[in-house]
Amino acid sequence: MSHQHILETQGFEPGLLRALSARAQAHERDLVRGTNTRIRGLSAVNLFYQPSTRTHASFRWAETVMGMTIVYDTEHAGETSSEVKGESLADTIRIHTGYAPIPSHLVVVVRHTLAGAAEEFAAHSGETHIINAGCGKSSGQHPTQSLLDVLFLFKVRPRLAEPTITMVGDLRNGRTARSLSYLARKAYPGLKKINFVSPSSLAMMQDIKEHLTAHSVPFSEVTNSEEFPDVLRQTDVLYMTRIQKEDLGGEEREKFEELQVAFQLNSESIQHLPSDAAILHPLPRNKEILPEVDSDPRALYFKQAKYAIPVRMATLELVFGKL
């Protein structure tokens, strides 16, 4: 079972997701025992043109514990690569694949500001594997994050079959929410509903809503904070995201503090959430979830982040045909 590249979430079917889930859970057990799967002889290039903590670090951890050789790694590619000299993405990937003695034994993990950057790499990578670690904004995706989201839910809520998923925050610019919107219906064929909760100027993009409509997935949009408690009462999975200040326009930036707390999860608002709900967050967070929530048993975002390593391990096995 293999996928040469991981560029978007639309290509993942339920059977593949369950296979990945089983493999990730096996890796998690092996990590505790110290008996990790080794895929020696394979190499990785990590090209991050944007800041990253969890995605970058978890891929490095996964590559390292699996015995891969990390031949090039940077989180400042936008400043230190020849892109600053005008080099195209096509030429960049040609160079990296050209260095590999066996191109099919190399994976390039890329994060970029441009939507479609990973696809451009894949179009010119030959037999080398490309993993999209988050590219673009309002039209981009972050498929490895949404894989983590779904596989983590499979582990912690194994009986969840027909969930109502509520996504909160900057849904206009957040590529994680976009990817999860695509993947949720594949992970849960009985998906009951998706609630999109955001300030009106940061609502989910039209293409996602059209996709859900085309596949008969019910969804609602909430922009009034007074309706937030009612939405929480109907929620099985609460997916919180931060307001992305770096992507706001002038007037929005002036209202940043107000936007951050418009749909805040705190000790009061969490009381409306069902007792068996799961609270996830791709992180980092700002003020959308207060630290006072962290001790609540439904707050699973730090456990979610930790699970990234076994999920990345399964993801790497998938592209190399070793799942």
Residues designated as active site: 54-55, 85, 111, 142
Task: Report the helix count and the strand count for the chain, using DSSP H and E.
Answer: 13, 9
**Cβ 163 vs Cβ 194: under 8 Å:** no
**The two structure tokens encoding residue 63:** 């590559």
Helix (H) or strand (E) holding 168: strand 164-168
Cβ-proximal residues to 315 (8 Å cutoff; 6+ apart), any chain: 6, 20, 62, 131, 144, 147
Helix (H) or strand (E) holding 23: helix 14-33
Between the CA of residue 212 and those of 10, 96, 165, 191, 207, what are the distances in Å?
12, 38, 13, 11, 9
Around Cβ 76, how many Cβ atoms within 10 Å? 11
Instruction: Give the 3-state secondary structure percentages of the chain, helix then strand then coil, rounded to 5.
Output: 45, 15, 40
The amino acid sitting at 221 is E
